Amino acid sequence: MAETDIKKAVVLLSGGLDSATCLAIARSEGYEPHAISFRYGQRHAVELEAARALATTLGAASHTVVDIDLRAFGGSALTDNIAVPKDRNLNLKDDDIPITYVPARNTIFLSFALAKAEVLGATDIFIGVNALDYSGYPDCRPEYIAAFEAMANLATKAAVTGASRLKIHTPLINLSKAEIVSRGVALGVDYGMTISCYDPDETGAACGHCDSCQLRAKGFREAGLSDPTRYQMAGP
């Protein structure tokens, strides 16, 4: 591919395991990735430092951190003074949406990614949502992503001029956590740089007990790989 043919893509990057893998996949597919992260009032804002380091290491062409204050609305353990649930049973049914769900978060994140894509002239957005080993969030399901893509294709200049079609890539959506980890390791992702925990300490050390820590540990265990996560003294 000639250098002029390199396609730009916007990649949502939280600093966690999934989004880091997603960035590595976008790069491996030949895209020039432009990472976007959000400072949204999350209690685990230390993940943004991880995102910054990952963007550099994994070869993002740019990295934008957008400030939005979702605490203005409240309603989630990730942004409010509500305890993060620990040691829960992860065999969730579809209608068990945990308190760590942040109202409309992925819709807001994807909307900003859409704005960035339009300004960059990119028609590809990558998001590391996952429909298997996920936390029961409505905005991680394939039908949601398809609906967002349909809406996005009516929302922008390109939608009117017919210049191009926007595509939302979800390379992890049908992978188990073990498969995601294996894929990332094959692509050279250093998972020691990622932070998955919903309730890390200020150094980024993980609690080992929240849903996200449990899903991650299960993934590494099933993949037969050791997890380089640093845990807090008390856990796991």
Binding interface with a second copy (CB under 8 A): 64, 66-70, 72-75, 94-95, 97, 101, 103-108, 110-112, 114-116, 118-119, 138-139, 141, 143-144, 147-148, 150-152, 154-157, 159-161
Residues 6+ apart with CB under 8 A from 125: 9, 10, 11, 12, 110, 113, 114, 117, 166, 167, 168, 169
Rounded to a whole number of angstroms, the minimum distance from the CB of residue 95 to a second copy is: 5
How far separated are the first and last CA of the chain, in Å rounded? Answer: 46
Question: Are the beta carbons of 154 and 136 closer than 8 angstroms?
Answer: no
Rounded to a whole number of angstroms, the minimum distance from the CB of residue 153 to a second copy is: 8
Q: Which is nearer to a second copy, 119 or 233 (CB)?
A: 119
Q: Which is nearer to a second copy, 152 or 217 (CB)?
A: 152
Report how far residue 29's alpha carbon sits from residue 7's, in angstroms, rounded to the nearest whole number.
Answer: 10
Rounded to a whole number of angstroms, the minimum distance from the CB of residue 43 to a second copy is: 17
Specify the residue for token string 């990472």: 35
Rounded to a whole number of angstroms, the minimum distance from the CB of residue 21 to a second copy is: 23
Rounded to a whole number of angstroms, the minimum distance from the CB of residue 34 to a second copy is: 11
Report how far residue 143's alpha carbon sits from residue 232's, in angstroms, rounded to the nearest whole number.
Answer: 37
Q: Which is nearer to a second copy, 107 or 232 (CB)?
A: 107
Report how far residue 31's alpha carbon sits from residue 42's, in angstroms, rounded to the nearest whole number.
Answer: 29
Query: Other C-beta atoms within 10 Å of 205: how many?
Result: 18
Report how far residue 23's alpha carbon sits from residue 61's, in angstroms, rounded to the nearest whole number.
Answer: 11
Specify the residue for token string 């945990």: 98
